[in-house]
């Protein structure tokens, strides 16, 4: 437990539109809410800030167990509800191609194993932590996994990742708060250019309940308002096709939204 604000901290419970906010990927913390204009990694005023932002996150995750509980900050029991919500979301989207999907910030392959591999012939993963990537390989190739298969595992940060394939679906869940705003937009652009015609890019993320970005110093991440994600997706050339709030999560967590988008450039792709 820690307090992270430098000046005039306001606890989440003090704010009109906030709850006490443990978050899915950091359940033990009570998140405080405030703008961090001076020290945000997104401001890029200090050349040291951005590498530090990524290094701290890397260190944080290197100390987390390679388990579903670890991935979900102690809330492993919500995994089934989460996967079910995502499955319904994708079913309603009617994803056109079924050959190749990409799981971004895949962790130990929880989403690949339970959501994507059953739907796509092959699934590639990107994950920055080597131990998680290795665990993902194990989980996604175990005998209980259906006939579909694991493809490439790219062991690197999303801020550096440039796909060499074209995907029928790109899924990115509970990881984008680890990217700075400029890296996020650049990542969105690269994903847009890596979609097959008509394919979807989907994100599933915590969002803040106010217009503020909420910074978490412990895992070195930020929680953005929904509008920020919408704005950055559009800035990167996406058209938002569907937006759904995940239902049936425990009370007190940040709202979680799934957003599906398509390229609006190159004739709509």
Ligand X SMILES: C[S@@+](CC[C@H](N)C(=O)[O-])C[C@H]1O[C@@H](n2cnc3c(N)ncnc32)[C@H](O)[C@@H]1O
Q: Is 247 annotated as a binding residue?
A: no
Q: Is 265 annotated as a binding residue?
A: no
Total of residues contacting ligand X (CB under 6 A): 22
Residues 6+ away with beta carbon under 8 Å from 46: none
How many CA atoms lie less than 13 Å away from 234 in the CB half-sphere? 8
- Helices 226-235 and 181-192 cross at an angle (nearest 10°) of 50
Contact 153, 125 (CB under 8 A): yes
Contact 174, 205 (CB under 8 A): yes
Query: 167 vs 174, which CB is nearer to ligand X?
Result: 174
Is 107 a residue that touches ligand X (CB under 6 A)?
A: yes
Is 238 a residue that touches ligand X (CB under 6 A)?
A: no
Residues 6+ away with beta carbon under 8 Å from 51: none
Is 25 a residue that touches ligand X (CB under 6 A)?
A: yes
Q: Choose which of 71, 150, 253, 256 interacts with ligand X (CB under 6 A).
A: 71
Is 159 a residue that touches ligand X (CB under 6 A)?
A: yes
Contact 169, 122 (CB under 8 A): no
Q: Choose which of 23, 110, 215, 262 interacts with ligand X (CB under 6 A).
A: 110
Tokens 């993963």 correspond to: 125
Spatial distance between the Cα atoms of 210 and 208, rounded to a whole number of angstroms: 6
DSSP 8-state assignment for residue 220:
T
Please name which of 268, 224, 259 lies closest in space to residue 31, comparing C-alpha atoms.
224
- Chain residue at closest Cβ approach to ligand X: 107
Is 127 a residue that touches ligand X (CB under 6 A)?
A: yes
Determine the 3-state secondary structure of 200 from DSSP. Answer: strand
Tokens 């102690």 correspond to: 74
Residue 216 phi, psi dihedral angles, 5° rounding: -120, 110
Q: Which of residues 30-69 bind ligand X (CB under 6 A)?
A: 54, 57, 61
Query: 132 vs 232, which CB is nearer to ligand X?
Result: 132
Q: Choose which of 29, 33, 34, 129 interacts with ligand X (CB under 6 A).
A: 129
Q: Is 105 annotated as a binding residue?
A: yes
Is 191 a residue that touches ligand X (CB under 6 A)?
A: no
**Cβ 5 to ligand X, closest distance in Å?**
23
Q: Which span (5-13, 31-39, 124-132, 230-238) binds ligand X, by CB under 6 A?
A: 124-132
Is 261 a residue that touches ligand X (CB under 6 A)?
A: no
Spatial distance between the Cα atoms of 75 and 214, rounded to a whole number of angstroms: 20
Q: Is 128 annotated as a binding residue?
A: no
Query: 8 vs 248, which CB is nearer to ligand X?
Result: 248
Q: Which contiguous run of DSSP H or E holds residue 210?
A: none
Is 205 a residue that touches ligand X (CB under 6 A)?
A: no
Q: Is 158 annotated as a binding residue?
A: yes
Residues comprising the binding site for S-adenosyl-L-methionine? Answer: 105, 110, 158-159, 173
Name the residues that contact ligand X, by CB under 6 A. 25, 54, 57, 61, 71, 105-107, 110-111, 126-129, 132, 157-159, 173-175, 178
Residues comprising the binding site? Answer: 105, 110, 158-159, 173
């Amino acid at each position: 437990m820690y307090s992270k604000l430098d000046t005039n901290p306001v606890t989440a419970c003090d704010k009109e539109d906030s709850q006490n906010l443990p978050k899915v990927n950091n359940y033990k913390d009570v998140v405080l809410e405030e703008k961090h204009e001076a020290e945000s990694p997104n401001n890029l005023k200090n050349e040291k800030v951005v590498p530090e932002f990524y290094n701290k996150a890397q260190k944080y995750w290197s100390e987390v167990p390679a388990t579903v509980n670890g991935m979900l900050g102690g809330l492993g029991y919500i995994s089934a509800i989460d996967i079910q919500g995502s499955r319904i979301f994708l079913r309603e989207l009617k994803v056109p191609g079924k050959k190749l999907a990409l799981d971004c910030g895949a962790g130990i392959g929880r989403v690949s194993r339970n959501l994507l591999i059953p739907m796509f012939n092959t699934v590639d993963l990107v994950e920055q932590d080597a131990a998680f990537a290795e665990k993902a390989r194990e989980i996604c190739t175990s005998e209980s996994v259906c006939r579909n298969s694991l493809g490439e595992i790219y062991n690197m940060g999303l801020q550096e990742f440039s796909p060499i394939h074209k995907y029928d679906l790109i899924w990115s869940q509970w990881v984008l708060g680890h990217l700075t705003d400029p890296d996020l937009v650049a990542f969105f652009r690269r994903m847009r250019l890596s979609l097959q015609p008509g394919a979807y890019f989907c994100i599933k993320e915590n969002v803040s309940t106010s217009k503020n970005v909420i910074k978490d110093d412990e895992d070195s991440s930020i929680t953005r308002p929904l509008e920020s994600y919408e704005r950055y997706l559009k800035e990167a050339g996406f058209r938002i096709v569907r937006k759904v709030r995940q239902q049936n999560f425990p009370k007190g967590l940040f709202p979680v939204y799934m957003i599906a988008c398509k390229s609006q450039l190159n004739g709509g792709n």
